[in-house]
Amino acid sequence: MNAAIFSHPTLTRRRLLGQAGIAALTALAAPAWAQSVNLPLPGGPDERPLTSAFPRKGRMILQRTRPAMLETPFEVFDKGVFTPNDQFFVRWHWALIPDSINAASFRLNVRGRVSQPLSLSLAEIMKLPRFEIAAVNQCSGNSRGFFQPRVAGGEWGNGAMGNARWTGVRLKDVLDRAGVRAGAVQVRFNGLDQAMVVDGPDFIKSLALDHARDGEVMIAYAMNGQPLPLLNGFPLRLVVPGWFATYWVKMLNDIEVLGEPDMNFWMASAYLIPDTPGANMTPGQAGVKLVPINRMVPRSFITNVKAGATVPAGKLLELRGIAFGGDTGVKRVEVSSDGGKSWGDAKLGKDEGKYGFRAWTARFTPAAGSATLLVRCTNTNGLAQPDQANWNPSGFMRNVVEATPITAS
Amino acid sequence: MRRWMLGLALIAGFGLVAPPGDAKDLPPLKSVRVKLPDNDVKFPAAPGSEIADKNCRECHTTEMVLFQPAMTRAGWEAEVNKMRNVYKAPLDPKDVGAIVDYLTKLKGAP
């Protein structure tokens, strides 16, 4: 049996391109990539090719060609708190992704438990009241490759995240135009991507009605002042500030108001975390209640000093980096230069919005020898990054305090 | 002195990155057509690799497999069964063992 769908342009394109695909993976043991990066992941494999072959994308870390999974090279986060569109990470579940979108004929449908089903053109959507917000878009499995013991999945380093200023319309305004009827409980979102195989679960996600109408969840038609790259969801993408990227449905073209909880695969069986603090459990632990992944948790990173770096001893060292609070703002960023024995407050940069990256700076004078730098974010709810890494079998929601070993000489 | 000034410039630069475009000046949305690259490289040749090529690469390129950590036979078996049962890979049940054997030999863990 071969149940693959052959009518989609992507497959036609793939067959036509054939041997013209990008060069990669010549041998497992000895990759011969023109340029590569070491992430580095415990136990490996941790070399990844760098690629500039994807449309409207600059240099990215190649995790998977099809369906595309592209990671932001970490040095990009040192350049500013807004991640450039051409280096914003990319992650798709199914390979049937339209390779063309007609802006005139595209429609966003709103249906289900509504008084007035809608079929909105892009021009109509752009006439609705404009809403703008800075927000971090982070893959549920960002940093999965650092889990120990290792777990299967997309083996990301720390670059499956980015911060953009999103422009579009409030989901609430669109739902109000359609008129949500009594008895509605959730809102389900679907995009133009399709499963490769018959009966493969279409990628669809749902939010509780109250969340969908909170006035922050939005439909974006621009990021950082430009139309979204196709690989980031052109022409429309759901933006769910403070929540993991699995809910930020790309190429959004269908909104369905539901009268009962969504039990589709991607809500009921996938993207589940242990219902425990920090989504933490022990390998093999039985009887753990699982719930859909939801709000993000605080994280922080040093962006200008790499692990293993050698710095001048006895000279002032300027540290800088980014932090985000998860589902709320950054209250505090602390830095330790002695492996956590003592901590000092970092100076926070401009607040661009509570859901975005926040720049921070700190300085200290290292003595000769080795040291471990730590950085810890506490959000405005008082939630701080944990000292110990969490573990769960899906590799979700890592947010341990990052350690950066350095040598001063 | 030079190094100090460079340092200052870098630190100042961090806060001076050009802000993203003003939403008021958003360009209209125009139709888009792209070509997405592909990678037709096959799995490393070994007994079972042709079955893996035939069944795995229709949905995803090989990097997804090759970048996984080493896993036990049971771990690989769980992955292959997930592809078949959950993601509905059109994989003949009699081929599961051959693919699991291949992956375990390629990237096995004790």
Beta strands in B6-109 (DSSP E): 32-33
**CA separation for the pair A106, A108 (Å, rounded):** 7
Residue A320 with chain B: CB contacts under 8 Å: 11, 14
* Inter-chain touch A64–B40, beta carbons under 8 Å: no
pLDDT in tens, A320-370: 999 999 999 999 999 999 999 999 999 999 999 999 999 999 999 999 999
Question: What's the farthest any 2 CA atoms get from each other in chain A?
Answer: 71
Q: Which of B11, B26, B34 is facing A222, going by the closest CB pair?
A: B26
pLDDT in tens, B65-103: 999 999 999 999 999 999 999 999 999 999 999 999 999
pLDDT in tens, A195-254: 989 899 999 999 999 999 999 999 999 999 999 999 999 999 999 999 999 999 999 999
pLDDT of residue B110: 83
pLDDT band at B54; cut points 50, 70, 90 = very high
What is the enclosing helix (H) or strand (E) of A335? strand A330-336
Residue B25 pLDDT exceeds 80: no
**Percent over 70 (pLDDT), chain B:** 77
- State both tokens at A343: 């901590």
Residue A77's closest chain B neighbor by CA?
A: B14
* Inter-chain touch A197–B27, beta carbons under 8 Å: no
**CA separation for the pair B56, B50 (Å, rounded):** 10
**CA separation for the pair A341, B36 (Å, rounded):** 49
Beta strands in A102-170 (DSSP E): 107-112, 118-121, 131-138, 161-170
In the 3-class helix/strand/coil scheme, how is A160-184 assigned residue by residue? CEEEEEEEEEEHHHHHHHHCECCCC
The answer to whether A135 and A242 have CB atoms below 8 angstroms apart is: yes
Q: Which of A81, A126, A199 is facing B88, going by the closest CB pair?
A: A199
Min Cα separation B36/chain A (Å): 6
- Hey, of B32, B42, B91, which one would you mutate to test binding to chain A, going by the most A CBs within 10 A of its CB? B32
pLDDT of residue A33: 78
The upper half-sphere exposure of residue A367, i.e. CA atoms within 13 Å in the direction of its Cβ, equals: 2
Residue A307 pLDDT exceeds 80: yes
Residue A165's closest chain B neighbor by CA?
A: B20
pLDDT band at B26; cut points 50, 70, 90 = confident
pLDDT of residue A32: 62
* Terminal alpha carbon distance of chain A: 64
Min Cα separation B63/chain A (Å): 5
Mean pLDDT over A124-140 rounds to 97
Residue-level length of chain B: 110
Residue A69's closest chain B neighbor by CA?
A: B64
Residue A30 neighbours by CB under 8 Å, 6+ apart: none
Q: Which of A14, A130, A350 is facing B38, going by the closest CB pair?
A: A14
Q: Which of B37, B68, B70 is facing A22, going by the closest CB pair?
A: B37
**CA separation for the pair A189, A179 (Å, rounded):** 17
Question: Nearest 5 degrees, angle CA A270-CA A274-CA A279?
Answer: 110
CA distances for A117 relative to A137, A245, A259, A359, B24, angstroms: 29, 27, 15, 43, 29
B73-104: burial string, b at 16+ Cβ within 10 Å, e else: eebbbebbeebbeebbbbbeeebbebbbbbbb
pLDDT of residue B24: 63
Residue B31 neighbours by CB under 8 Å, 6+ apart: A100, A101, A102, A103, A104
The answer to whether A237 and A183 have CB atoms below 8 angstroms apart is: no
Residue B59 pLDDT exceeds 80: yes
Identity of the amino acid at B44:
P
Q: Which of B20, B40, B71 is facing A152, going by the closest CB pair?
A: B71
pLDDT in tens, A17-59: 332 333 333 334 445 677 999 999 999 999 999 999 999 999 9
Residue/partner pairs of A38-44 with CB below 8 Å, 24 or more apart: A39/A145, A39/A157, A41/A145, A41/A146, A41/A150, A41/A155, A41/A157, A41/B69, A42/A146, A42/A148, A42/A150, A43/A150, A43/B69, A43/B70, A44/B69
**CA separation for the pair A9, B33 (Å, rounded):** 11
pLDDT in tens, A80-119: 999 999 999 999 999 999 999 999 999 999 999 999 999 9
pTM of the model: 0.90
pLDDT of residue B27: 75
The answer to whether A388 and A340 have CB atoms below 8 angstroms apart is: no
Residue B15 pLDDT exceeds 50: no
Residue A11's closest chain B neighbor by CA?
A: B58
- A–B interface: beta-carbon pairs under 8 A: 187
Residue A41 with chain B: CB contacts under 8 Å: 69
Q: Which of B36, B58, B86 is facing A196, going by the closest CB pair?
A: B58
Min Cα separation B35/chain A (Å): 7
pLDDT of residue A31: 55
The answer to whether A133 and A217 have CB atoms below 8 angstroms apart is: no
Residue B40 with chain A: CB contacts under 8 Å: 18-19, 21
pLDDT in tens, A155-175: 999 999 999 999 999 999 999
